Amino acid sequence: MIPNLAYTAIERFDHDNGERWSGYVRWLGRSDLLGVISLDAGICPPVVHAESGDDWQFVVQQEFMLDFFTDLDFVRRRAAKSSRRYHVLAVARNPTAEEVAGFADARFQLAGFDVVDAQFTKSALLNGSRFPGVLSISELSRESALVPARERAFAIRDALERRHPDPRRVPWQAWGIWRYAAAA
C-alpha cells in the first residue's frame, strides 16, 4: 500500500491531437513517440475537477493538488462524463522503491516516472532542453514520454536541484505514475 497514493484523470495527448501533436513532437525532437502521459497540466490538462462542496471530501488535502483525489471510483465516474479523451492515473509523489514494487492493483500498469514542479506547470522531462546535461530526450519511453526507472527519475530530480537551483521555487518532485488499464 502506498500511503500518498492519489488518483487523477488527464487529457490524452497523442497523434489524435492532430497539428498540436505534430508540432509538439517536432519541437521535442521525438517523432517516434506514441503518446505523452504527464502531470504537466499545460501538456496533459486535468479532466476531473471538484465541482461542488460535496466533492471536497475526495480532494487530496495538499497544496496545488486540487485535481488529485483519494477515491478512484469518484475519478472514474467524473472522467466518464467528459467529452475529452483521457487517461485515469494513480500517482505517488517521491515513492520509495518498496512502494513501487509493492503496488498491487492489477487494474493499473506502471507508465513510468515524471519529474514535475510543485504546481504541476512544467515537467522537467518534457522541457529537457531548458536543463542541458540533466537528461537526454532519448531516455523517455516511446509509449508515454516518461522515464521508465524510478532511480533515474530521482537522479534527474536531484541533478536539477544541484545544477539549476532556484531559491524562489519549491523543489522538483518525482512522481510514480500508473495508468488505469482495466476494462471500463
Exposure b/e, 147-175, CB count within 10 A at least 16 = b:
beebebbbbbbebbeeeeeeeeeeebbbb
Most confident of 16-20, 165-169, 178-182: 16-20
pLDDT of 183 over the 60 cut: no
Confidence (pLDDT) at 86: 97
pLDDT of 1 over the 70 cut: no
State the chain's mean pLDDT as an integer: 92
Helix, strand, coil in percent for the chain, rounding step 5: 30, 20, 45
Q: Could you give the CA distance from residue 97 to residue 165 in angstroms, rounded to a whole number? A: 26
Amino acid at position 58, single letter: F
Confidence (pLDDT) at 15: 96
Confidence (pLDDT) at 184: 44
pLDDT of 93 over the 80 cut: yes
Q: Could you give the CA distance from residue 36 to residue 177 in angstroms, rounded to a whole number? A: 12
Q: Could you give the CA distance from residue 60 to residue 89 in angstroms, rounded to a whole number? A: 14
User: What secondary structure does DSSP assign to 64-117, as a single string?
Assistant: T-TT-BS-HHHHHHHHHT-SS-EEEEEEEES--HHHHHH---TTEEEEEEEEE-
% of the chain residues with pLDDT over 70 = 97
Confidence (pLDDT) at 148: 97
Q: What is the pLDDT of residues 113-157, one digit of tens each?
A: 999 998 898 899 998 667 878 999 999 999 999 999 999 999 999
Q: Domain ranges for the chain, please list them.
A: 5-180
pLDDT of 51 over the 50 cut: yes
Confidence (pLDDT) at 182: 73
Per-residue HEC secondary structure of 29-54 comes to CCCCCCEECCCCCCCCCECCCCCCHH
Amino acid at position 10, single letter: I
pLDDT of 48 over the 80 cut: yes
Among 60-64, 68-72, 85-89, which stretch is predicted with the lowest mean pLDDT?
60-64
Q: Could you give the CA distance from residue 175 to residue 94 in angstroms, rounded to a whole number? A: 6
Confidence (pLDDT) at 101: 95
Average pLDDT over residues 57-80: 91
